[in-house]
Amino acid sequence: MRGRTSTGMKWGLVGGLLAGGALIPLIPVIRKRAMNVMTILKKDHRMVSGLLMTLEMTPRMNATIRKKLFEQIRTDLTVHAQAEEEVFYPVMRTLTFGMQGPKVDDAYREHQTMKELLNQMMNLDVMGDEFDNKLRDLKNTFQHHVAEEEGEMFEFVNRRMSKQQQEDLGQRLHNRKKDLKTRMAA
């Protein structure tokens, strides 16, 4: 019996290595897809949304965890918003020739609202009702923002930009986010 388990484990390990080896040629494809501007922004949206939900569900007795979650949300949302404002929205304006201008203006306003809520929340007790109320407002604003951006703006980008242009823009966005994270960590 012992020999069979050992042999089975060996073959399982060999199979796993072979399967992993089979994926190696796909790595450039996977990475290339990850640099698409909409893929990057959607990933950010899902990450922040998950963090907001986690913070919302974290019991008040865990002040340390709630503080850490809030700081992560604040950092991720700040980096995301600034990179969008500096890289994505200016391109949206040039692509639209004014047709999507009001949508871009709305997106800037929603970012400003979220930044104000984050700043207000920094000074609140993470265990208090006021913090939870602001968290709910932040989550609602964020969800509305994501729905409009992914629904309308992304559809527009798909129609007006080639895949290569989307990847180039994604690379610029990625580089800007990386720079902003480095600066925030310093």
DSSP states along 111-129 = HHHHHHHHHHHHTS-TTSH
* 27 pLDDT more than 50: no
Q: Mean pLDDT across the chain, nearest whole number?
A: 85
- The predicted model gives 101-126 an average pLDDT of 94
pLDDT at 152 > cutoff 70: yes
Tokens 């602001």 map to which residue? 134
pTM of the model: 0.79
Label each residue of 51-70 as H, E or C.
HHHHHHHCCCCCHHHHHHHH
